[in-house]
Structure formats: C-alpha cells, structure tokens
C-alpha cells in the first residue's frame, strides 16, 4: 500500500506485515542454550497461533515461541508440578495420556524442532496466561533467553527491537484470544526466574515492584511508526514516484477483463511457495504488490498453474478463455488507473526466490542502474517478508524470445551470461538505507528514525 507518512492508518493485515518486515530485517534469532536428555518430541499440544479457535480460560497457560520462520507456536509444558501446575494432564483426556511421553518436559524446544526448512532458532519465547481482564506474558525461557550470551554472539534486543517484537506478539495474541491489554514481564535466568515461576505457575501476582510493559491499541499504533521509519518504505516510495515513470499495458487480448482468481496483495500472503511453484506479480502505482496465477502455456510448456492452484470442484468458476495475465492484477478502480512500475514472474527455487522479469504488457528497459536497484531492493524486501528470508534473484528475460519462457516454465536455469541481480538481506538493507541520501535527505530529517524514540514511553512501563 502507499505510505505517505509514519502516522498513516493501517488495517491489521498491513500492520502485521510491516512488523514482520521489521523483525525479519532487524531482529536476529537465537539457538537453544542447552538441552535435556529426555527432550526430543514435538509438543503434543502444538498449535500455530492461526490454528487456535478458542480463548484461554482464566489462569490457563501456554508456552510460546516466535520462531525464526515467524511461526508463532504454542504448546503446554510438562513441568512445574511442584507449584501445583498440571496443565498438560488437564489439556488431554485421561484415555489419551498413554500417548504422551511423561518423561519429556515438552519445553520451548518442543515448539522449535529443526527440519529441512527451519533451523530451530527462536526470536522470542515465554509463557502466556489469561488473567481476569488481561493477558499476561511471562518471558521465562532458559533455552532461548538473550541474557549474558554475548560470548555466543547473542546480543540483547534494543528498546526499539523489543517494542516492535512485543507489539507484533500483542497483535497476534489479541486477534486469537480477544481484544484486551497485554502485559509483559521480564525475568532473569537463575534465582529470579525460579522465584517468578513459583508465583506465575501458582497463579499468585507478581510484586508491585516488578517492572512490566503494557500494550494496547494505542501503543501498537506508536510502534508502527518505528517500524515504518526503520524500514524506509516511505523513502523508497517517494523515490519511485519521483524518479520512475509508470507504464501502461502495451496491448490487450479480447478474452481478458476479469480479476485474477488467485489475486493476493503481498500483505495477505501467509505461506511460502512450494518448490518450483510460480506466480505472476506487478508493483502497481498505488504500491500494491499484487500476485496471481496465469492461465496460459499449457500446450507450449506444459504449465497448469491455475488448475493446480484450485480444487477441481472450483474449476467451473474459472473462465478458461481468460489468460489471467498481468492486466488481471491491474484492473483500474477508483483513483488507480491500471499502470505499474514493474512486473514479472516468481518461482521458488532451492535456496532462493526467482523474480523473472518478463511481461509482454509491462516490459520495460528504460531504467538506470540506480533506479533498478531501488525498485528491486524495495520489491525484494516485500518478497522476503511474505515468502521467507532468502535471496531474491532478478533474472533478465526477453518477452520476444520464446527460449526464455521455455527455460523458465521448464524449470531450467538461465545461462551464467544472462543478466542477473541478487538481493540478500544485507544487500536490501544497503540499498534501502542509502535512499535518504539519494533523495537529498539526511537521517536527521522529519522522517528520521530517531524522531520517534521520545514516544517509546507510550508503551506503558510500570515499576
């Protein structure tokens, strides 16, 4: 979406997307500090936050981790019975107890089991408890805390980083467990954690002297400003509007006028692409990065992306005569005139996301190196947020040369001599951080990152 200033009003999807973008770019995950012998299974109560359909009962608890892949996972720990906590036994009917390994603590690592796509590292971890009128977050995790781990290369989070992460968690928790204030409590490994855990799991209040941070809708709105300024999306959009001319479609087909049935705004995407799965995409002049699936190339290249995307029972609702090409993502509406800045295809390759720069309608070869870098770094940042932290590889293509489509849709690799630009996270940051200088601004201008630090106390801190 178009962002004119940090005070712009955002819906929950956009807000979540920009928090995710900040976390992916600026918050490092940490590996577990240690492990127990009898700890190897997946938590029997494992649920991603999106799978949860019921609120917690009063004093009901969950452990949680925000994983490196941005899955927010919850479960139930098999420990702290010395404080009268029997969460795991209460969660499952007694007839199912034989299927649970009662020797396994089912701690935070049971929510962060490594696999082929995920390395087991975690961004944030703790416990959730539903109190009478608020949600309590107890940041206890022996494995994934950041305290005194600089020798391992693990640094504590800055105030801003913590504020963004906790605002994101508040947004996700309140969407799932209901609108309410969310209160975060810190603890330190060792004696303090033991004392705090004794209170938390026995449902006794923390002392009034214990520092906490309270988040609500107002504080989340303030945190949004930090994220937008740090990401520099405002500057990128200003540059693109000022220096890159919009383009209109070169031609049109007769049977083409419907919106793409797989249309998704980049902010709505929740899942990565499967290996070799493809999408068409455009960056529109209203700054919607739209994706969809094309209905073409079945005979030429054996591509059946649209049919594969939808269940067979839905095929009767598709228009088989409509190619659903790039114009199906750019139908004019209200103040949007159907023009774009950039367009192409996506394909999920092993270890990177390919952005294949071919669009017969929106082909362009008029950009300078600087314009190309800003435009592609901005798009790469959005793609990394939606599809996962991976290099985004922009490959040149010629819409008038069928060999390019033959290679792309045949899942081949272009020759090493074919022009290609690779945007890793560090490369994206390098280009995005340089945009204020390109615009003739200094970081001390009114969109300066530092301007909003004075507003951090809006996240209420009690001690």
C-alpha span between 126 and 111 (Å, rounded): 12
Torsion-angle region of 325 (φ positive above 0: left; ψ -120 to 50: alpha; else: beta): beta
Among the candidates 205, 230, 255, a domain finishes at: 230
Based on the fold, state whether residues 261 and 198 are members of the same structural domain.
no
Based on the fold, state whether residues 226 and 237 are members of the same structural domain.
no
Based on the fold, state whether residues 241 and 213 are members of the same structural domain.
no
What's the pLDDT score for residue 456?
A: 38
Diameter of the chain by CA atoms? 73
Q: How far, CA to CA in Å, does 352 sit from each of 130, 237, 355, 418?
A: 40, 25, 10, 17
76 part of a folded domain: yes
Based on the fold, state whether residues 252 and 175 are members of the same structural domain.
no
C-alpha span between 110 and 76 (Å, rounded): 9
The answer to whether the CB of 251 falls within 8 A of the CB of 360 is yes
The 8-class DSSP code of residue 346 comes to E
2 part of a folded domain: no
Percent over 90 (pLDDT), the chain = 79
34 part of a folded domain: yes
460 part of a folded domain: no
Task: Name the nearest CA neighbour of 246 among 362, 370, 345, 356.
Answer: 362
Token duo for residue 209? 């002297």
String of DSSP letters for 17-50: HHHHHHHHHH---B--S---TT--SPPTT-EEGG
Based on the fold, state whether residues 54 and 103 are members of the same structural domain.
yes
pLDDT digits (tens, 9 = 90+) for 357-391: 999 999 999 999 999 999 999 999 999 999 999 99
C-alpha span between 59 and 130 (Å, rounded): 5
Token duo for residue 447? 């969109």
236 part of a folded domain: yes
Based on the fold, state whether residues 103 and 114 are members of the same structural domain.
yes
What's the pLDDT score for residue 454?
A: 33
pLDDT band at 40 (very low <50, low <70, confident <90, very high): confident
pLDDT digits (tens, 9 = 90+) for 319-355: 777 789 999 999 999 999 999 999 999 999 999 999 9
pLDDT band at 117 (very low <50, low <70, confident <90, very high): confident
Query: For 121-244, where are the alpha helices, taking DSSP H only?
Result: 159-177, 191-200, 217-231, 233-243
C-alpha span between 57 and 68 (Å, rounded): 29
- Distance from chain centroid for Cα 136: 24
What's the pLDDT score for residue 352?
A: 97
Based on the fold, state whether residues 362 and 389 are members of the same structural domain.
yes
Exposure letters 253-271 (e unless 16+ CB within 10 A, then b): eeebebbbbbbbbbbebee
C-alpha span between 144 and 154 (Å, rounded): 10
Span 239-243, mean pLDDT? 96
Span 133-142, mean pLDDT? 97
C-alpha span between 76 and 210 (Å, rounded): 25
Among the candidates 187, 210, 230, a domain finishes at: 230
Q: How many domains does the chain have?
A: 2
Lowest average pLDDT, out of 10-14, 206-210, 313-317, goes to: 313-317
Based on the fold, state whether residues 318 and 430 are members of the same structural domain.
yes
- Contacts of 394 by beta carbon, 8 Å cutoff, 6+ apart: 344, 355, 357, 376, 380, 420, 421, 422, 423
381 part of a folded domain: yes
For the purposes of burial, counting CB atoms within 10 Å of the CB of 43, is it exposed (0-12), middle (13-18) or buried (19 or more)?
A: buried
| pTM value surpassing 0.85 | yes
**What interhelical angle do 425-433 and 369-387 show, nearest 10?**
130
Based on the fold, state whether residues 171 and 268 are members of the same structural domain.
no
pLDDT band at 459 (very low <50, low <70, confident <90, very high): very low
The answer to whether the CB of 129 falls within 8 A of the CB of 60 is yes
What's the pLDDT score for residue 322?
A: 78
C-alpha span between 20 and 24 (Å, rounded): 6
String of DSSP letters for 321-336: T----GGGG---BTTB
Helix or strand (DSSP H, E) at 357: strand 352-357
For residue 430, is pLDDT > 70? yes
Span 274-302, mean pLDDT? 94
Range of the domain at 153: 12-230
What's the pLDDT score for residue 441?
A: 54
Based on the fold, state whether residues 151 and 252 are members of the same structural domain.
no
Span 202-213, mean pLDDT? 95
pLDDT digits (tens, 9 = 90+) for 164-179: 999 999 999 999 999 9
173 part of a folded domain: yes
397 part of a folded domain: yes
Based on the fold, state whether residues 305 and 186 are members of the same structural domain.
no
Among the candidates 166, 198, 230, a domain finishes at: 230
Based on the fold, state whether residues 411 and 430 are members of the same structural domain.
yes
């Amino acid at each position: 979406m178009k962002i004119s200033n940090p005070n712009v009003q955002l819906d929950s999807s956009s807000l979540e997307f920009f928090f995710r973008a900040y976390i992916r770019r600026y918050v490092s995950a940490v590996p577990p500090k240690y492990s127990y012998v009898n700890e190897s299974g997946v938590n029997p109560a494992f649920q991603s936050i999106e799978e949860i359909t019921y609120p917690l009962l009063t004093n009901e608890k969950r452990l949680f981790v925000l994983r490196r892949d941005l899955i927010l996972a919850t479960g139930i720990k098999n420990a702290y019975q010395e404080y009268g906590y029997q969460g795991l036994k209460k969660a499952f009917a007694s007839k199912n107890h034989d299927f649970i390994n009662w020797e396994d603590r089912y701690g935070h690592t049971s929510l962060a089991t490594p696999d082929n796509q995920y390395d087991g590292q975690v961004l944030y971890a703790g416990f959730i408890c539903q109190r009478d009128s608020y949600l309590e977050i107890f940041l206890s995790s022996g494995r994934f805390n950041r305290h005194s781990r600089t020798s391992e290369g693990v640094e504590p989070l800055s105030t801003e980083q913590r504020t963004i992460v906790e605002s994101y968690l508040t947004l996700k928790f309140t969407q799932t467990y209901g609108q309410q204030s969310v209160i975060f409590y810190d603890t330190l490994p060792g004696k303090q954690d033991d004392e705090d855990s004794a209170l938390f799991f026995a449902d006794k209040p923390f002392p009034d002297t214990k520092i906490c941070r309270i988040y609500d809708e107002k504080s989340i709105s303030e945190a949004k400003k930090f994220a937008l300024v740090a990401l520099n999306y405002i500057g990128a959009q200003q540059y693109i509007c000022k220096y890159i001319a919009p383009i209109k479609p070169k031609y049109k087909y007769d049977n083409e006028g419907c919106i793409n049935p797989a249309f998704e705004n980049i902010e709505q995407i929740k899942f990565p692409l499967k290996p070799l799965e493809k999408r068409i995409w455009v960056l529109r002049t209203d700054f919607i990065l739209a994706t969809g699936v094309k209905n073409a190339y079945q005979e030429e290249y054996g591509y059946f992306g649209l049919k594969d995307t939808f269940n067979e029972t839905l095929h009767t609702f598709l228009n088989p005569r409509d190619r659903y090409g790039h114009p199906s993502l750019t139908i004019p509406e209200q103040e949007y005139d159907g023009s774009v800045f950039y367009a192409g295809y996506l394909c999920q390759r092993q270890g990177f996301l390919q952005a294949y720069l071919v669009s017969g309608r929106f082909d362009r070869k008029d950009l300078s190196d600087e314009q190309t870098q800003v435009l592609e770094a901005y798009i790469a940042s959005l793609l990394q947020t939606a599809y996962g932290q991976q290099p985004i590889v922009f490959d040149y293509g010629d819409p008038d040369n069928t060999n390019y489509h033959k290679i792309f849709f045949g899942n081949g690799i272009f020759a090493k001599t074919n022009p290609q630009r690779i945007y890793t996270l560090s490369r994206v940051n390098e280009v995005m951080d340089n945009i204020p200088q390109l615009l003739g601004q200094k970081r001390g201008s009114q969109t300066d990152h530092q301007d909003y630090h004075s507003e951090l106390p809006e996240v209420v801190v009690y001690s």
